[in-house]
Amino acid sequence: MKQIHLIAPSGASLDPHSPLAGIEWLKLQGVEILNTACVNRVEQRFAGSDQERLAEINQLSSLSPEKTVVAMRGGYGLHRLLPNIEWSAIAKAIGNGLQICGHSDFTVFQLGMLAKTGAITLAGPMLNFDFACQGKQSEDATPNAFMWEHFQRAVDQRTVDCTVKLLQPYLSHSAAGQASGMLWGGNLTVLAGLVGTPYFPTQQQTQGGILFLEDVNEHPYRIERMLMQLLDAGILSNQSAILLGGFSAYRLYENDRGYALESAIETIVQRLPKNLPVLTGLPFGHQAEKLTLPVGAQAHIQYDAQGFTIQSQW
């Protein structure tokens, strides 16, 4: 990985220090950073006008394939652009070798690309948090080593290979198995909001898939409600496995009276087929330690009550 081309397709930067710190750290790793001007754009809460952000995305079709595209941050904004994104042209660039990475609001682009073209994108780190010392201001803080290692492996070798050693509360002690299928998913709030639109992969595309989910700042009852929507829409039962990443930065209240994230997940699991594994602890989400996952690629998992391994090559 020699060059990273930045894009800012969603929210404006909340902290002017963050993108600059990320750019500086990446330069110290020997990476040339392109299109840095995008981090300074501001239009209301967005990183530029709709026209500016749309033009920046559509220009990806003309990038040389050795570049890696990384989104600045999430927030909100990509939904506005979906009807005018030149999906086929960008997919052609991806087919020639271009890799495009982000998460959070970027889930909109990834699922839209998958639905429209089947092209593979990367769910992984973004500039502002992941490469900017996790948002810390101290000079001795550095980006997460696990994140950086797996990002480089995904970009340079196009592989994922990770073992999670964590007790799996939604598997019986005797449960063990394996599953293969298309890896897809992302931010739960964004994904649930696309159901029923042309930018959500079809049932045929996702049949037997490996669905990964994460979220931030969402109370467990909201998580349960969105999972219930996916359940009742026939999406969850359509999978060969469900991987749950980080669900972070929410607050429980006195009137929850013991209701927690585990209660929400258990409610969903009870309604799923008994042979459908729901695995927790996937290192992915709004957290420092995260994998880079190929959305739309074939993947394989092996699991038991002690943890799981996920592998993919694309």
- What dihedral angle (degrees, nearest 10) is formed by the CA atoms of 272, 276, 281, 286? -60
Q: Is 300 a catalytic residue?
A: no
CA 133-135-141 angle, 5° bins: 35
The active-site residue out of 18, 224, 286, 312 is 286
| Residues forming beta bridges with residue 213, ordered by sequence position | 186, 244
> How many whole angstroms separate alpha carbon 253 and alpha carbon 256?
5
Percent helix, strand, coil in the chain, to 5, is 40, 25, 40
Strand order in the sheet with 298-304: 159-165, 307-313, 298-304, 176-187, 210-216, 241-248, 278-280
86: three-class secondary structure by DSSP: coil
CA angle 176, 314, 26 (to 5 degrees): 105
- 42: number of Cβ within 10 Å: 15
Active site residue 214: yes
The C-alpha atoms of residue 267 and residue 170 are separated, in whole angstroms, by 11
Instruction: Compute and round to an integer the Cα radius of gyration of the chain.
Output: 19
- Catalytic site includes residue 103: no
The catalytically annotated residue of 10, 13, 18, 104 is 104
313 φ, ψ (degrees, to nearest 5): -140, 135
The one-letter amino acid code at 226 reads: M
User: How far apart, in whole angstroms, are the C-alpha atoms of residue 108 and residue 190?
Assistant: 7
Catalytic residue (one of 214, 224, 240, 312): 214
Catalytic residues: 104, 214, 286
